[in-house]
Structure 1
Amino acid sequence: MGGGINEQSVVYENKKLAVEIIKKGGAIISEYPLTAHGNKYSFPQRNRIISGLSKGVLVIEADEKSGSLITAKSALDQGRDVFAVPGPIFSSKSRGPNSLIQTGAKLVTCAEDILTEYSIQYNLTKLQLEPKSEIEKNILEIMGESVMGLDEIIRVSKKPAGEVVSCLMDMELEDKVKNLGNNRFSLNG
């Protein structure tokens, strides 16, 4: 955390999430005293801990001076893998991941790229198109029976690109969509 575990904003605003994380075997950690308040300088330190606990980090969107790039640098310094999703060359939010790819980050176009990198075998259960979130519901409705490009899905959904890409990767892991290559997707089933 970017502040102490007992910081008031954490206790009141995120208590439900913290309880859920702990119930599922996760941990709430901080290198700060219990009541320390977070500030803009403490979050890169928090992200250094997150990258240190991770096998790798994935950057989906980031401008040139994004906190995500600070986290990616920490990951590299710690010998962790850095993955990046390429984006349109004229989008400021693509500058970070595109630059990371140029300097050696592993290019990711679908969730399977990361699973393959770590030799993770996964068994998918029967396809269930029951949406888990509003954005997933939106994407399912938009796609219907057609093959759609990522840019078109983002444009029609009117959602931030990072949210759409993240949701599509989750949907791909759940075998709800298929990445056909060249950022084109179709529903499975």
Structure 2
Amino acid sequence: MDALTATLMLCRLDGMGPGRYWQLLEHCGDAVAALHNFPDKLLDRLPDSARMLWREYERRGAASALAAWAAAERARCADAGVQLLCCGDGGYPSLLAQISRPPPLLYVRGNADALHLPQIAVVGARRASRAGLDNARAFAADLAGAGFTITSGLALGVDASAHRGALQAGGATVAVLGSGVDKLYPRRNAALAGEIIASGGAVISELPLGSAAEAAHFPRRNRIISGLSLGVLLVEAALRSGSLITARLALEQNREVFAIPGSIHNPLARGCHKMIRDGAALVETSADIAGQLGGLLSVASVPQDAAAAPLPPEQRALVAALGGDPRSIEQLAADTGGDAGSLMAALLQLELAGLVETLPGGYQLTRRGAAYLEPQH
């Protein structure tokens, strides 16, 4: 028997969460040994149904219901194109393996290699404001364009906007579910999940196939989102929200946490403000995230000779609209006819390139940016 099959069987037992699984392995050494020599003092802590299932396996071995379920689950995964990753194997994401009591198993639909790329989690409210949705999309697009995989939870609101921003930038994105990978939740985002997979990203879960979305699953899902990532960006969050839990878990996992501030009158800004008070970095642009991550983003995004690099049409139009005077996002939208989300993404790119700087209430060209107003450009 291999470790993957043994882990599947152990995780099938009622009451065998990640905590008890790792306690068992600390005692027994590995999953195969644990399955064959389950200590009585640990077995007694499981529900009656789990003890009965394991004792039947002890008697009947490969003919038991537990062994039959594990074989069937592996066959179902193979038929559905779902890859199983066992913690301790080479294919398991190394950053996630470093957290306390990581998921023993991951079910992966799509490109498992995306789990090994540098990831930034973008999380926030399901009922986010229009500005929050625009920020999620613009930041995700900019970070994805710089080479980061964008990780989120496929939920409505900020999560979906972050996934879409990454896709629009041609980047990879990972969706972590609180259900089985064959039971997409919410169903409204099933098409988005398909786009994520088709674009080279992945949809993942630690839950067996067929698992429905339940409230108890989402805190576990959130620790995976933060555990996979170098840092977590909190876009909008109420004081009591799953997104705030993700940010707190990230701090506990020694990950970088970033938060976008908002109006003191917006209830969805209060979670961000609390995290900033608790140690999260206040960010206004992707350049702020780049600085915290050791310049990786800025190295990936800023051309060595920005003045010599031609600009895309949308950015050229923005430079022309800015001209020599500071302009607000509303003025720029009126001048260019662009929507706020695409304008913010373009402005973030220009700011990272050192061509635009922010002012209270608006933007203006830097000296390098003003050079693009010259006829030769």
> TM-score scaled to structure 1, two decimals?
0.70
Structure 2: any 5+ residue segments left out of the alignment?
1-176, 304-308, 373-377
Q: Of 250, 262, 265, which residue of structure 2 is paired with 1:75?
A: 250
Distance of aligned partners of 1:3 and 1:170 in 2 relative to their CA distance in 1, 3 Å threshold? farther
| Kept after mapping to 2: 8 A contact 1:84/1:106 | yes
Aligned to 1:144: 321
Distance of aligned partners of 1:94 and 1:10 in 2 relative to their CA distance in 1, 3 Å threshold? closer
Q: Which one has a bigger Cα radius of gyration?
A: 2
Q: Give, in angstroms, the shift of residue 31 of structure 1.
A: 0.6
Q: How does 1:102-117 map to 2 (within 5 A)?
A: 102-117=277-292
Computed over aligned residues only, the root mean square deviation of the Cα atoms, in angstroms, reads 3.7
Identity %: 32
Greater per-residue helix proportion: 2
| Kept after mapping to 1: 8 A contact 2:196/2:202 | no
What SS does the corresponding residue of 2:300 show, helix, strand or coil? Answer: coil
Aligned to 1:124: 302
| Kept after mapping to 1: 8 A contact 2:181/2:209 | yes
| 2-structure distance, mates of 1:5, 1:39 | 14
| 2-structure distance, mates of 1:97, 1:164 | 23
Q: Give, in angstroms, the shift of residue 54 of structure 1.
A: 0.5
Q: Of 228, 231, 244, which residue of structure 2 is paired with 1:53?
A: 228
Distance of aligned partners of 1:75 and 1:127 in 2 relative to their CA distance in 1, 3 Å threshold? farther
| 2-structure distance, mates of 1:166, 1:63 | 24
| Kept after mapping to 1: 8 A contact 2:259/2:280 | yes
Q: Give, in angstroms, the shift of residue 84 of structure 1.
A: 1.0
Distance of aligned partners of 1:66 and 1:110 in 2 relative to their CA distance in 1, 3 Å threshold? same
Q: Does 1:6 align with 2:178?
A: no
| Kept after mapping to 1: 8 A contact 2:351/2:357 | no
Higher relative contact order (CA 8 A, sep 6+): 1
Distance of aligned partners of 1:30 and 1:147 in 2 relative to their CA distance in 1, 3 Å threshold? same
Distance of aligned partners of 1:179 and 1:46 in 2 relative to their CA distance in 1, 3 Å threshold? farther
Q: Give, in angstroms, the shift of residue 18 of structure 1.
A: 1.8
Aligned to 1:65: 240
Q: Of 345, 358, 365, which residue of structure 2 is paired with 1:180?
A: 358
Q: Give, in angstroms, the shift of residue 114 of structure 1.
A: 1.0
Distance of aligned partners of 1:168 and 1:72 in 2 relative to their CA distance in 1, 3 Å threshold? farther
Q: Does 1:98 align with 2:276?
A: no
Moved more, 172-181 or 72-81: 172-181
| 2-structure distance, mates of 1:70, 1:29 | 19
Distance of aligned partners of 1:72 and 1:12 in 2 relative to their CA distance in 1, 3 Å threshold? closer
| 2-structure distance, mates of 1:99, 1:165 | 29
Counterpart AA for 1:89: I
Distance of aligned partners of 1:54 and 1:147 in 2 relative to their CA distance in 1, 3 Å threshold? same
What SS does the corresponding residue of 1:179 show, helix, strand or coil? Answer: strand
What SS does the corresponding residue of 2:363 show, helix, strand or coil? Answer: strand
Q: Give, in angstroms, the shift of residue 108 of structure 1.
A: 0.9
